[in-house]
Amino acid sequence: MDDPVLLTGAGGAVGEAILEGIGDAYEWKLMFHSPPAEEPSHEYLVGDVADDEDVAAAVEGVGAVIHLAGDPRPEAPWDSVLANNIDGTQKMYEAAVDEGVERFVYASSNHAVGAFETDRRTPEMYREEDDFLLDGSEFPRPGNLYGVSKATGEVLGRYYHDEHGIKVCNIRIGNLTRGHPPIDYERGQAMWLSYPDCAHIHECALEADYEFEIVYGISDNDRKYYSLDRAREVLGYRPQDNSAHFEGEDRVVEPDA
């Protein structure tokens, strides 16, 4: 990707992981919701993804969008996910196709499929010996309204791809934590996404050849219940981390060289 890349939600945790890992690899245009505390080392603007003028200014001159901005709370109320996640994503897509943007990478979520985690399947499905695996071809099954908004973002991508040809990669992000996997939280360990792997999968999504994809964004955890096959095959994703390589906060197995 030679053109500038718009990163919405740049001030959040996922944005931080991406900029730490691949900040030097691209010409970025960062979008913040409120003025950043420190002057960013990349071009930036402040705006709301639910505002047509802000969104048009954001996509101007970019070749790709990584769309992270939104309300990330699993317990977020409908009025918030409707405005920030659904309306905001639709406006981003509309502006992107108007601008002729080539590709759109969308931060979907494990919560788009959270209701697969039924009482009958859990907690066994969070364990290494269990063979239950979602692969991205399943229909969304949200367990909360936030998950509904994330599934809706995926469907918006399907529409804008089919109608306008923009390349779309939906990454169903697991549980991003810095440094080590969540502690005493089996579900979080099964869908842990390390900061380096988060940056790497987004770089893959900016570079790979695809049309419309839904992939899971987790590290290569032994416990996983999300398949990484599609991300490996289509994006060339090669995660370096595994939650099983940690005891609490301590790494006990080093990543392969």
Ligand X SMILES: NC(=O)C1=CN([C@@H]2O[C@H](COP(=O)(O)OP(=O)(O)OC[C@H]3O[C@@H](n4cnc5c(N)ncnc54)[C@H](O)[C@@H]3O)[C@@H](O)[C@H]2O)C=CC1
Binding interface with ligand LXAUTJHC (CB under 6 A): 72, 74, 109-111, 175, 187-188
Compute the least distance from the CB of residue 162 to ligand LXAUTJHC, in Å: 26
With binding defined as CB under 6 A, does residue 148 bind ligand X? no
Instruction: Determine contact, residues 243/174, Cβ cutoff 8 Å.
Output: no
Residue 113 contact among ligand LXAUTJHC, ligand X, none, beta carbon within 5 to 8 Å by kind: none
The structure tokens listed for 72 are 């990330």
For ligand X, which stretch binds (CB under 6 A), given 18-26, 62-70, 123-131, 219-227? Answer: 62-70
Q: Select 69 or 231, whichever has its Cβ closest to ligand LXAUTJHC.
A: 69
Q: How far is the CB of 17 from ligand X (least distance, A)?
A: 8
Rg (CA), the chain: 17
CA distance 159 to 150: 15
Specify the stretch interacting with ligand X by CB under 6 A; choose among 42-50, 92-100, 206-214, 225-233.
42-50
Residue from the set 90, 109, 189, 219 that interacts with ligand X by CB under 6 A: 109
Hey, which residues are catalytic here? 146
The response to whether 221 counts as a known ligand-binding position is: no
Choose the contact partner of 161 out of ligand X, ligand LXAUTJHC, none; CB within 5 to 8 A by kind: none
Using CB under 6 A as the binding rule, the residues of this chain from 189 to 248 that contact ligand X are: none
Residues 76-95 binding ligand X (CB under 6 A) are: 84, 88
Sign for the pseudo-dihedral over CA of 255, 181, 186, 252: positive
- Identify which range of 13-21, 132-140, 158-166, 239-247 contacts ligand X by CB under 6 A: 13-21
Alpha carbon separation from 236 to 104, 210, 229, 232, 257 (Å, rounded): 17, 11, 10, 5, 17
Residue with tokens 């992270």: 68
| Cα gap 227→40, rounded to integer Å | 36
Comparing CB distances to ligand LXAUTJHC, the nearer of 73 and 251 is 73
Q: Is 91 annotated as a binding residue?
A: no
The SS3 of residue 238 is coil
Flag whether 146 is marked binding. yes
Tell me: is residue 150 an annotated ligand-binding position: yes
Which among 219, 71, 225, 98 has a CA at the least distance from the CA of 153?
71
**What are the angstrom distances between the C-alpha of 31 and each of 36, 82, 98?**
10, 20, 18
SS3 content of the chain, % helix, strand, coil (to 5): 40, 20, 45
**Which residues are 46's β-sheet partners?**
32
Is 101 one of the binding residues for ligand X (CB under 6 A)? no
Judged by CB under 6 A, which stretch of 19-27, 91-99, 107-115, 220-228 contacts ligand X? 107-115
Binding residues for ligand X, how many (CB under 6 A)? Answer: 23
| Rounded Cα gap, residues 214 and 170, in angstroms | 5
- As annotated, the binding site for NAD(+) includes 84, 109, 146, 150
